[in-house]
Amino acid sequence: MSEIEFPAGKIVFREGDPADYAYLIQSGQVEILKLGAVSNVRVALLGPGDVFGEMGIIDELPRSATARTVDVVRAVALDQKTFINMLLSNPRDSLSVLRSLCERLRTMTDRFRDAEDQKTDTRPAIARVFMRTTGEAGNGGDASKSWEVTRFPYRVGRAPSPEEGQTLAFNDFQVADTEPHTLSLNHFLLDLTLRGIVCRDRGSRFGTIVNGVRIGGNTGRFSQSLKLERNEIVAGPVDSPSRFTVDVETA
Mean local confidence (pLDDT), 200-205? 90
Mean local confidence (pLDDT), 131-151? 73
- Measure the CA–CA gap between 153 and 188, rounded to whole angstroms: 10
CA distances from 232 to 109, 210, 215, 248 (A): 26, 6, 13, 11
| 161: pLDDT strictly greater than 90 | no
Give me the pLDDT at residue 115, please.
56
Comparing 91-95, 146-150, 177-181, 232-236, which segment has the lowest mean pLDDT?
91-95
Give me the pLDDT at residue 57, please.
79
Comparing 120-129, 141-150, 220-229, which segment has the lowest mean pLDDT?
120-129
Mean local confidence (pLDDT), 33-62? 79
Give me the pLDDT at residue 120, please.
47
Structural domains in the chain?
A: 2-117 (2.60.120.10), 126-250 (2.60.200.20)
CA distances from 220 to 102, 193, 204 (A): 20, 20, 12
Give me the pLDDT at residue 141, please.
46
Give me the pLDDT at residue 167, please.
58
Q: What H or E segment, with its residue span, contains residue 173?
A: strand 173-175
Q: What is the pLDDT of residues 172-189, one digit of tens each?
A: 899 888 888 889 988 999
Q: What is the pLDDT of residues 82-135, one digit of tens each?
A: 877 877 887 766 776 776 666 666 666 665 655 555 544 445 567 689 999 986
Give me the pLDDT at residue 29, please.
93
At residue 224, the 3 state secondary structure works out as strand
Mean local confidence (pLDDT), 156-168? 76
Across 26-40, 69-83, 100-114, the highest mean pLDDT is recorded for 69-83
- Measure the CA–CA gap between 242 and 134, rounded to whole angstroms: 8
| 196: pLDDT strictly greater than 70 | yes
- Measure the CA–CA gap between 136 and 227, rounded to whole angstroms: 24
Give me the pLDDT at residue 135, please.
66
Across 35-39, 135-139, 154-158, the highest mean pLDDT is recorded for 154-158
Among 196, 201, 176, 199, residue whose Cα is nearest residue 186 = 201
- Measure the CA–CA gap between 140 and 102, rounded to whole angstroms: 29
